[in-house]
Amino acid sequence: MKELREDPVSKFKPSPISAPGFLGSDTGTASIRDIIDTDYALLEECGLTTEKVAQALELIYRKCELAMGDPVTFPNGITGELIDIRGKLPCPFGKCGTFAKGQVTLSGGVLHAPLIISPLSLHLIKTHGFFQGTSSPFRIDPRIVAEHLMTVALP
């Protein structure tokens, strides 16, 4: 709790650096702690941990990275594509350094909406248990990971 109070919520809101922000329309309605707690409960329901989720997403990210921009089709029809973006983003929690801006967009197959994985979102999940606000375009819903992505990541 203490570390969160030291970091103003403004870092999570839309800005020239984080573009749409990390919270989406959760801004003002849910605290960062609420979002983390709710997602933690969701993960427990699915029998997952932030480590397991981060590990699976990282594997998917690496597979797409190895394809160097060519689309990668996973067994359940989901396609992943790495977009190389120059520059770095700081972690909004602070003191964690910066993360490359590249991102893998997963779409198609069983996914109803595209899901974006970035080095920063991997860090946010792994280190802070933060999957981002429910309406943020960068949110990685733990339920979607549990239902569709855990098996995809298997070697």
Chain residues in the site for Zn ion (CB under 5 A): 91, 93, 96, 127
Maximum CA extent, the chain = 44
User: In terms of CB distance, is 61 or 93 closer to Zn ion?
Assistant: 93
Spacing of C-alpha 76 from chain mean position: 20
Sign of CA dihedral 99, 108, 134, 148: negative
Which is nearer to Zn ion, 119 or 142 (by Cβ)?
A: 119
Q: Least separation, in Å, of the C-beta of 123 and Zn ion?
A: 6
- Supply the minimum distance, in Å, between the C-beta of residue 118 and Zn ion: 13
For Zn ion, the closer CB: 96 or 150 = 96
Residue nearest to Zn ion (CB): 96
Considering the complex, what minimum distance in angstroms separates the CB of residue 94 from Zn ion? 7
- Give the 3-state secondary structure of residue 66: helix
In which region does residue 129 sit, left (phi positive, over 0), alpha (psi from -120 to 50) or beta (all else)? left
> What radius of gyration, in Å, describes the C-alpha atoms of the chain?
15
Q: Give whichever of 25 and 127 is closer to Zn ion, judged by the CB atom.
A: 127
